[in-house]
Amino acid sequence: MDAKGALAAAFDVSSLRFEPTQVADGLHAMEMNTEDALREYLRLFVKIPLVGRIGPLARTFDFVADAAPGVKEILAVGKLCYEVRERHYDLVVVDAEASGHIVAQIAAPRAIRQLVQVGLVRDQTNWMLDILDDAERTGLVVVTTPEEMPVTETLELIDRVRSETGVDIAAVVANRVLPALFSEREHDVFERMRTGEAHRLLVETAGAAVDTVLSAAELLEARRRVGAGHLDRLRRELAQRVGPSVPLVIVPELFTRAVGRRVVTLMAQAIQDELV
């Protein structure tokens, strides 16, 4: 749903379309498209056969959607709920919009139901809400990084989701977390290596470039400690807002420039290791 094209690159395919594409054994991916979603909705629920593009109808739809909040969002969420209801897949995973838009999307059925009191549209929002509000079937996983602004936005998003929707917060993932280079005892040794006789001996043995290595290690460790402070805040306030039942999953920085399936595999392994 977040149309950055990153999902196609992650699985080494040229592009994704509205029709599902098999990207691995037992794994399909698609890209959300409101025009195609409208076409499918009209075919499945309104029983209108459509051939080719629906340009004039889509333009009319855009005009209505701009005037009535939630119309475009209901198509996107409705498509996902439909796939869950029909059990076409064992699991539906959504790369959702950024935090500024996700609440509007998952709250769309509730907003539409308040606007439309009777008829087909209201009936359909009812079964969508049954799926979205069922914690056994639907959960929102919030992904953040160990930085001040992302952590603040994550906590604000959780508050909005809980107050404006019935969707369950399934987990919070902290991505790109830097690993600790030293234990506390090792850090004391590292500090002694940067000054005095120990530093002089290192420079004599390894050359002046040793200062570059030490400075890089110091910078990395400083960044890690700052990030750890933000994670502590996230863990503490998450427990206060939603209780201990929502896990905080830590995913380490991969330190790789590669893209594609290799990164997906490494990420999946890191998450599995954290959850087991």
Q: What is the pLDDT of residues 152-194, one digit of tens each?
A: 999 999 999 999 999 999 999 999 999 888 887 888 888 888 8
How many angstroms separate the CA atoms of 257 and 113, rounded?
46
| 226 lies in the same domain as 149 | yes
Strand partners, 172: 142, 248
Q: Which of 132, 166, 192 is the last residue of a domain?
A: 132
E strand or H helix that includes residue 160 = helix 148-164
**8 Å CB contact between 214 and 221:** no
How many angstroms separate the CA atoms of 70 and 47, rounded?
22
| 222 lies in the same domain as 192 | yes
How many angstroms separate the CA atoms of 89 and 92, rounded?
7
CA 162 to chain centre: 17
Query: Tell me, what's the pLDDT at 144?
Result: 96
| 208 lies in the same domain as 127 | no
Q: When comparing pLDDT for 162 and 210, which is higher?
A: 162
Query: Tell me, what's the pLDDT at 260?
Result: 85
| 171 lies in the same domain as 258 | yes
Pairing of strands 139-144, 168-177: parallel
Rg of the chain taking only CA atoms, in angstroms? 24
Q: What helix, strand, coil percent values describe the chain, rounded to 5?
A: 60, 10, 30
Banded pLDDT at 8 (limits 50, 70, 90)? confident
Query: Tell me, what's the pLDDT at 155?
Result: 96
| 171 lies in the same domain as 115 | no
Q: When comparing pLDDT for 34 and 126, which is higher?
A: 126
| 4 lies in the same domain as 124 | yes
| 108 lies in the same domain as 36 | yes
Looking at every residue in the chain, the average pLDDT score rounds to: 84
Mean predicted confidence (pLDDT) in 262-274: 89
CATH number of the domain residue 257 falls in? 3.40.50.300
Query: Tell me, what's the pLDDT at 228?
Result: 94
| 71 lies in the same domain as 88 | yes
Would the pLDDT of 2 be above 70?
no
How many angstroms separate the CA atoms of 11 and 193, rounded?
44
Give the HSE-up count for residue 56: Cα atoms under 13 Å, Cβ half-sphere.
2
Domains held by the chain: number? 2
| 194 lies in the same domain as 253 | yes
Identify the domain containing residue 145 by its residue range.
139-276
Of 66, 18, 8, the closest CA to residue 38 belongs to: 18
Summarize pLDDT for 54-95 with one digit per residue, the tens: 555 555 455 444 545 556 778 888 889 999 999 999 999 998
Query: Tell me, what's the pLDDT at 138?
Result: 96
Q: Which of 132, 149, 184 is the last residue of a domain?
A: 132
Q: When comparing pLDDT for 120 and 245, which is higher?
A: 245
| 107 lies in the same domain as 157 | no
| 114 lies in the same domain as 167 | no
Q: Which of 94, 113, 132 is the last residue of a domain?
A: 132
pTM: 0.82
| 215 lies in the same domain as 231 | yes
